[in-house]
Structure 1
């Protein structure tokens, strides 16, 4: 296969899936990871993709959100470490907004069995199902329209639900974290729910694995100054984390399990 043809196929693959790792592309096209890196460097110069730690994503505004099952497999072990750290910041008896998404679901699974006696407000059917039998835990589901595949609740009813609650903390999952632009997401409707949840909470903890760092998606969710704490497995010197610290955000980097 000629180099130009390979780069065109790599570009098509990333724009279709939204992201791909160096290792996956190396195996798929039968070339070294160094060759893949050089291909991606050229594609980045053309503006179609962006390189990130471990791979590349579609450039701003072009990425298609990967399915929930695919996201759940990405950095699965790292999400456990992030979740343990996040739950360590919860105080027994608090009212917690727990977001939708694969990392928030990992947090819910970490809460199970800890006897925290929380009140959990969530727009996620999966989170509610995970916690519904947890002793001394009250689970409030926002209502709204079920988003296929995600099993999250979106729309005006879900947004309005947060106007009724005063919550202690919001544990937010997000698709993009940037030092200047803050948090962003693929979906306008998901982002609207996140912004409503943010307004309802006294403090905001963002949980994001390293693959989310440096990404900027179409829809803004929050500026850096609206975040209290970011927990990630990314390197402390990542430009996105450096930018957040400069904006006054506390960043907690956890080791991979």
Structure 2
């Protein structure tokens, strides 16, 4: 049985991805810093177990990977999904806000990937990093978030270039607007309507649709795919830039 690590697995895209891996016969290490929520959801998923870890902390990441290997012996796929969303005007983004976003979105993705490389080398394996459409196209209010996700995209390409000789594939998913609890909490009705207008498929994506793409890239059916960025966005990247509803009121 293959083993996948999924970070940010207590809710949203990470939880949907963990469930789909399990449905396809994988063991799943569900990783999140929200220990209470993780302990609620993990027992309901076959072949899954919870590992509480803040991926922005190098010492915790090392312990997490050791725990997974003690439990499963192998690591075949790593899904770096955990992320922090902090949206605000560029002039209000101080260094503390910047570092909070980078610590999880970029540093955490780097730390987890680095810690898993020795295990991935044994049988070949896959890294799937979760970036964002905000890493492919600039928008307002996303100076830290968008920059962190753009960096994740390049990190993915760097991993593909350097780890391919070991049979390790690295790919990136760039979600567009997805109907998660987090998105619905921060998107006003005006913003939701604007997104619908800007997306060719005229709707938000679902967590399940993202999970399907992630599990595909992690699995054997994607065995000759590496170094790629797949925008799962309903066509959003193909249509213009910016949303008026997201712009600051000049008054």
The structure with more radius of gyration: 1
Q: TM-score if structure 1 supplies the norm length?
A: 0.40
More helix by share: 2
More strand by share: 1
Larger RCO: 1 or 2 (CA < 8 Å, sep 6+): 2
